[in-house]
Amino acid sequence: MWSLWLHSFMTIPPTIRTAILLWCAAAAQAQPALPAPSDRQLAWHELEYSAFVHFGLNTYTDREWGYGDESPALFNPVESDADRVVRLFRDAGMRSVILTAKHHDGFCLWPSPLTEHSVRKSPWRGGSGDMVREFADACRRHGLKFGVYLSPWDRHHSEYGRPEYLEYYRAQLRELLTNYGEISEVWFDGANGGDGYYGGARKTRTIDRRTYYPWPSIWALVRELQPQAVIFSDVGPDVRWVGNEQGYAGETNWSTYSPVGPDGGAPAPGHTRYLEGTEGHRDGAAWIPAECDVSIRPGWFYHAAEDPLVKIPLDLMQLYLRSVGRNAALLLNVPLDRRGLVASPDSAALMGFRWMLAECYERSSEIALHPEPGIDSVWTSAFDQPSGFNGVELSEDIRFGQRVGEFRVEAWADGVWTTVASGTTIGRKRIILVPSRMAAQIRVVVGRSFGTSHLRPMRLLRIPYDLHDLLVVEP
Ligand code: FUL
């Protein structure tokens, strides 16, 4: 076949042959390689929905940000049972867990030999407990990935703000990334600097967020010790903050991103135009997809007074549609209460949402899409018989990068094509609710794309609830 082709090509006059070759070379150059996910990012994309667990001394002092002088003696989760918590998350459909190994107050949920400010000085398990280990092991047992949050800001440590603290921070990161098996994500928070205990100094200490932490070398340590782990922060490098704590990505949401500082200069965690994280950048230089962290309650830590304010399954469905349904991941915080367990309003909401989502997908069907011969911007599918639906789920094959910047979905019924949905980006997953209708064929018309679009099979959703109101009001 190849030799036949070559033979015919050689029969073409040399000048035309050269012109064809030059044209091919120009065409190849005109489509520069787009940023695409690494293997570790592809694995992270598959997780979609994960649990964030805030737990520590704040749980016992009823605060959100401990000052750093709280006594470890307060920490006593007498009914603590990581296995039970992780089984709940698994049953709720979550695929990984990220635990606050250390929050801003500096209290460590593992017995770090480098500080007294940890579970080692608490009455829990007689001072011999290790919450990080219990969660890491339970996740492994139940098939969930496990990640850690190690707050860069430490309101307890006497050297915070000086080079000595950075040694401590690195050494703690090394402990977490060495002693607990595989870590799937390391979460670097942006809040940093302010007043605190600081070993008794009781002062305000501010740091220069651009220069204090040697981020490239901290990230290199993660790569060295846990090469498969993704690194989260305001600026990536693997996963970016979506720019709000309400749990939504933009309707337009690019996984490509070029973070910049508030002044347009170099960015750093806690020092970015973070609002741009909500949509990403169409021409972004790197693949840094968005993660939506949001709490199931008003606060990140457990407060009994917030029991009546726990989100209900419909709220969680709305969060899901605005995060996973908009090409982002949902990291839902479910704090532990003073027993060390998930409180009942939270577990009821998680399972209620799980049930709703299952109902939506149970009645859905996957349909193959084929590019129309000669027109790679129109993807068509035909069914055996007319089919009813009230939602569509589209998906790009993101191994080729994120390409689609404008699309519409059309349905064929009664002899005409009608547009039923339209939008900008698709990415890994895009869910759009539409008024109920029947169609004998569906097609997706891509209006704007970086090179050829690569669509995966789509899903027709048959949602047994009226969810439209959920999407009317933007937060
Ligand atoms: C923020 C922190 O200040 C909050 O306490 C919480 O941990 C949230 C996830 O990140 O920046």
CATH number at residue 192: 3.20.20.80
Amino acid identity at 113: P
pLDDT: is 472 or 99 the higher one? Answer: 99
Q: What confidence score (pLDDT) does residue 385 get?
A: 80
Spatial distance between the Cα atoms of 258 and 389, rounded to a whole number of angstroms: 38
One domain for residues 289 and 192 = yes
pLDDT: is 5 or 355 the higher one? Answer: 355
Spatial distance between the Cα atoms of 325 and 338, rounded to a whole number of angstroms: 34
pLDDT: is 172 or 3 the higher one? Answer: 172
Q: What confidence score (pLDDT) does residue 165 get?
A: 98
One domain for residues 372 and 320 = no
pLDDT: is 268 or 1 the higher one? Answer: 268
Spatial distance between the Cα atoms of 115 and 107, rounded to a whole number of angstroms: 9
The rounded radius of gyration (Å) of the Cα atoms in the chain is 25
**Would you say residue 3 has pLDDT above 80?**
no
**Would you say residue 378 has pLDDT above 80?**
yes
**Would you say residue 375 has pLDDT above 60?**
yes
Give the structural domain span for 369: 365-468
**Would you say residue 14 has pLDDT above 70?**
no
Q: What confidence score (pLDDT) does residue 33 get?
A: 83
**% of the chain at pLDDT higher than 70:** 92
Q: What confidence score (pLDDT) does residue 466 get?
A: 79
**Would you say residue 343 has pLDDT above 70?**
yes
**% of the chain at pLDDT higher than 90:** 86
**Per-residue model confidence as pLDDT tens digits over 246-292:** 999 999 999 999 999 999 999 999 999 999 999 999 999 999 999 99
Q: What confidence score (pLDDT) does residue 16 get?
A: 63
pTM recorded for the entire structure: 0.93
Spatial distance between the Cα atoms of 261 and 199, rounded to a whole number of angstroms: 32
Q: Whose CA is nearest to atom 3 of ligand 1?
A: 191
**Would you say residue 346 has pLDDT above 80?**
yes
Q: What confidence score (pLDDT) does residue 381 get?
A: 87
86 burial level (CB within 10 Å; 0-12, 13-18, 19+): buried
How far does residue 51's CA lie from ligand 1's centre (Å)?
Answer: 14
Structure tokens that stand for 173 in this block? 């990161």
* H-assigned helices in 277-409: 313-322, 344-362
**Per-residue model confidence as pLDDT tens digits over 461-474:** 999 887 776 665 45
**Domain C-terminal end among 362, 380, 404:** 362
Q: What confidence score (pLDDT) does residue 27 get?
A: 46
Query: Residue 2: inside a domain, yes or no?
Result: no
Q: What confidence score (pLDDT) does residue 13 get?
A: 64
Is the separation of the CB atoms in 124 and 75 below 8 Å? yes
Domain of 387, CATH number, reads 2.60.120.260
One domain for residues 112 and 253 = yes
In angstroms, the first-to-last Cα distance of the chain is 59
One domain for residues 348 and 446 = no
One domain for residues 379 and 408 = yes
One domain for residues 398 and 278 = no
One domain for residues 180 and 327 = yes
Structure tokens that stand for 166 in this block? 């950075």
How far does residue 238's CA lie from ligand 1's centre (Å)?
Answer: 19
Q: Of 109, 186, 245, 271, which is best to mutate to test ligand 1, by the most ligand atoms within 8 angstroms of its C-beta?
A: 245
Q: Cβ < 6 Å from ligand 1: which residues?
A: 64, 189-191, 293, 300
Amino acid identity at 8: S
One domain for residues 391 and 409 = yes
One domain for residues 247 and 395 = no
Ligand 1 atom with least separation from CA of 100: 7
Per the structure, the count of domains in the chain is 2
One domain for residues 173 and 321 = yes
**Per-residue model confidence as pLDDT tens digits over 174-204:** 999 999 999 999 999 998 999 999 999 999 9
User: How many CB atoms are closer than 10 A to CB 251?
Assistant: 18
Per-residue pLDDT band at 138 (split at 50, 70, 90): very high
Ligand 1 atom with least separation from CA of 189: 11
pLDDT: is 466 or 94 the higher one? Answer: 94
**Would you say residue 325 has pLDDT above 90?**
yes
Q: What confidence score (pLDDT) does residue 28 get?
A: 43
Q: What confidence score (pLDDT) does residue 30 get?
A: 44
